[in-house]
Amino acid sequence: MLHPLLVVLPVFALIFSGWAAFRLNFLGPNAVAELNRFVVYLALPALLFDVMANANGAELWQPGFIAVFTLSSAIAFALPFLIRARGRLPLADQALDGLNSAYPNSGYMGLPLTLIAFGPGVLPATTIAMIITVCVTFGFAIVLIEISRQTESHPLRIASKVLMSLIRNPLLLAPALGAIASFAGLTIPAPAEKFLKMLGGAASPCALVALGLFLARPRMVEPGSSRAIAVLVFAKLIVMPAITWLLAVYVFGLPPLLANSATLLAALPTGTGPFMLAEHYRRDATVTSNVILFSTVLSIITLSAFLALLNTAD
């Protein structure tokens, strides 16, 4: 129980600091939007570029693990579309719900927790999970949101406008440039690498503070939101790791260490990515913020139970 609690505690502390800053009038009502713009246009692109530019292709080429995590993420992402947790929603909001149930907090919580549970041998697998989460799953949600924003009726014009929007989006452009740098064998100069680490390191803390600021604001919650929140939290904490484990063990036959690390990473609570997108595209972030909050709280129980089962099996 102690290990997950120690990992989750800083997350709650950062959320609470944002909540307290708003309640004490240290930060005003515009702080959420401004902090989120900083994350979207500066901090997170720096982090994504750095992750991709420093990715070791040989270590990261683990096709079984990649297939397991990509498939489980895709299934979890599709669940809200299939069950319509909040009824008939615009495509942009459905994409956010999909992200809520398929976006584990692999960077901020996954890295320390997997190192504690399994040791440094799972670092490549954790990096793979991070890349799939922040580039593939996140990128697909952005594509759907951009499609939903188009008013054109002609398919080619829609495709052209979406493509131009995606090219200009820093959250997709940064990892693409990082991948190009990695494949080209370019070495990032030490001062530039330090700059990227410092700027990218601010992404998760600032997003969590912005989440606390948002939660502190008075707002109306729709009557049906509690059911949607419960469904999305259940999908993230229970359905996604269960699917991951089944795929890892019975379909792809991964070694126990990789299967267990994939399941643990899938069992992580929802990260701040969906909240950042909701704020950036000016969608209602009420459900998203509560999914992040409640999944993080409940993950103390679910992650502890999973780690206890692993210890029992050993």
Six-digit token pair at 12?
Answer: 């709650």
pTM for the predicted model, two decimal places:
0.79
Six-digit token pair at 190?
Answer: 């030490």
Q: What's the domain count of the chain?
A: 1
Domain CATH for 268: 1.20.1530
Residues 224, 71: Cα–Cα separation, whole Å: 29
Residues 268, 172: Cα–Cα separation, whole Å: 23
CB 126, CB 265: distance < 8 Å: yes
- Model pLDDT, residue 158: 61
Burial 14-30 (b: 16+ CB within 10 A, else e): bbebbbebbeeeebeee
Residues 258, 217: Cα–Cα separation, whole Å: 42
Residues 194, 309: Cα–Cα separation, whole Å: 40
Six-digit token pair at 287?
Answer: 């459900």
Closest CA to 183 of 60, 52, 59, 66: 52
Count of C-beta atoms within a 10 Å radius of residue 167? 10
pLDDT tens for each residue of the chain, 314 residues long:
556 666 667 777 888 898 899 989 888 878 888 887 888 788 878 887 887 788 776 667 889 999 999 999 999 999 988 886 566 778 888 999 999 999 998 866 777 678 777 877 777 788 788 888 887 888 888 888 888 877 655 566 666 666 676 676 777 788 888 888 888 888 889 999 999 999 988 887 887 888 788 778 776 666 668 888 999 999 999 999 999 999 999 999 999 999 999 999 999 999 888 888 888 888 888 888 889 888 988 988 888 888 878 766 65
Domain span holding position 167? 2-313
